[in-house]
């Protein structure tokens, strides 16, 4: 996974606790991350790891992705 990190400018971590935490731990603290999960402990764990650019959203992933699609002009 570390081999795929160079060039990442933003990490969007959606609804997968273990994958989100593992990915967040691999990324440098300078990479902005957005973590979306219904469980409030997941965004908290990522923010606590030292990333100063981590944003956590506690909400349903389906609602989040629907809104992202609408914003990008692709209704779901």
DSSP codes joined into one string, 26-43: HS-TTS-EEEEESSTHHH
Q: What is the pTM of this model?
A: 0.77
68 contacts 14 by C-beta, under 8 angstroms? no
Residue 50 confidence class, pLDDT cut points 50, 70, 90:
low
Domain boundaries defined on the chain: 2-71
53 contacts 31 by C-beta, under 8 angstroms? yes
Q: Which residues are registered as beta bridge partners of 58?
A: 37
The mean per-residue pLDDT over the stretch 51-56 comes to: 78
Q: How far apart are CA 54 and CA 10, in angstroms?
A: 10
The mean per-residue pLDDT over the stretch 38-42 comes to: 89
Query: pLDDT, tens digit, for every residue of 7-21?
Result: 889 999 998 888 888
Tokens describing residue 32: 């902005």
């Amino acid at each position: 996974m570390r081999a795929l990190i160079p060039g990442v400018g933003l990490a969007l971590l959606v609804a997968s606790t273990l994958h989100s935490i593992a990915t967040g731990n691999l990324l440098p603290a300078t990479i902005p991350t957005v973590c979306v999960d219904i469980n409030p402990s997941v965004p908290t764990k990522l923010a606590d790891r030292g990333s100063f650019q981590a944003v956590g959203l506690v909400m349903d992933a389906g609602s989040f992705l629907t809104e992202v699609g609408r914003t990008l002009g692709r209704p779901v």
